[in-house]
Structure 1
Amino acid sequence: MLQILELTRDNIICTKADGNLTELDMEKIHPLIHNILKTGKKVRWYFEMENFTGWSIEGLWADAKMDLSHAKDYEKIAMVGEKKWQDWITQFMKPFTNAEIRYFDRNEKESARQWIGQ
């Protein structure tokens, strides 16, 4: 499940992923991205993972399509996680976007929020 956090504002999208993400979860984000792009700004995404297990096949495909179609529209992505494979995902994403991407451990949540807002 993907939850939109109250910290979402201006050109910052804040989400929390729990469990397995589906295509419907990814569809929640697309309108937020388009609303930010209409203002002429680039997207900053705070992506927190708690008990995150990955994506369904449809969710992974929807995420990949969205990320590829908006690769130039992201400015910063903060990935906050609790497992080594989540750091690996962050490294894997880097060649596919112009965004600055950083991984933060869960105990660095506040640092990640500050970084995404700078």
Structure 2
Amino acid sequence: MSNVHGISMDVERVDEMVFMEFKAIGTLTHSDYEKITPLIEDALVDVEQPIVNVYVDGTDFEGWQLQAAWDDLKLGLKHGKKFNKVAFYGNTRWQEVMSKMGSWFVSGEFRYFEEPLDALSWLRE
């Protein structure tokens, strides 16, 4: 397991439509969530009824430290109802299983993809 870890994030917002793109690398830590959570909060702050579509590139994702898993759960519980579609692009069986569990915490659709273009085109449907 590598020591390189983190989450990069890009946000596009047009009126009520919010598109978030995440790249998760390595084993995520509490400090990764301390950096990313305010960015998510800022992206959603002034939107009355946000329609949020999310693309997650998990091809370099290895999991979470325990505290980070809790941080992820809290984020899902707080903002999950705002998510319209979440597309998780991954490359391992455990990520596919994890993405099915992720659907428990969002009100919209949560799907796993093995091809990035399939994921992006589904989000744009």
Please state which band the TM-score falls in when normalised by the shorter chain: 0.7 to 0.9
Offset at residue 113 of structure 1 (A): 1.5
Structure 2: gaps spanning 5 or more residues: 1-5
Which of 98, 103, 122 is the aligned partner of 1:115?
122
Looking at structure 2, the residues matched to 42 and 23 of structure 1 have their Cα atoms a distance apart, in angstroms, of 27
Does the 8 Å CA contact 2:87/2:112 hold for their aligned counterparts? yes
With normalisation by structure 1, the TM-score equals 0.85
- Inter-partner Cα distance in structure 2 for 1:15 and 1:60: 16
Give the deviation of 1:51 after TM superposition.
2.6
Q: Distance in 1 between matches of 2:22 and 2:63?
A: 14
> Structure 1 regions of 5+ residues with no counterpart?
none
Larger radius of gyration: 2
Q: Please tell me whether the aligned partners of residues 37 and 73 of structure 1 are also in contact (alpha carbons under 8 angstroms).
A: no
Query: How many residues matched?
Result: 114
Q: Hey, what does 1:15 align to over in structure 2?
A: 22
Q: Name the residue aligned to 1:3.
A: 8
2:3 equivalent in structure 1:
none
1:90 offset after TM fit, Å? 0.9
Offset of 1:37 from its aligned partner?
Answer: 4.9
Q: Which contiguous aligned blocks of 4+ residues in structure 1 show a shift greater than 3 angstroms?
A: none
TM-score normalised by L of structure 2: 0.80
Alpha-carbon displacement from aligned partner over 1:25-54 (angstroms, at most 9, x marks no partner): 223433343323522313211111123110
Q: Please, which of 7, 25, 29 is the counterpart of residue 36 of structure 2?
A: 29
RMSD over equivalenced CA pairs, Å: 1.7
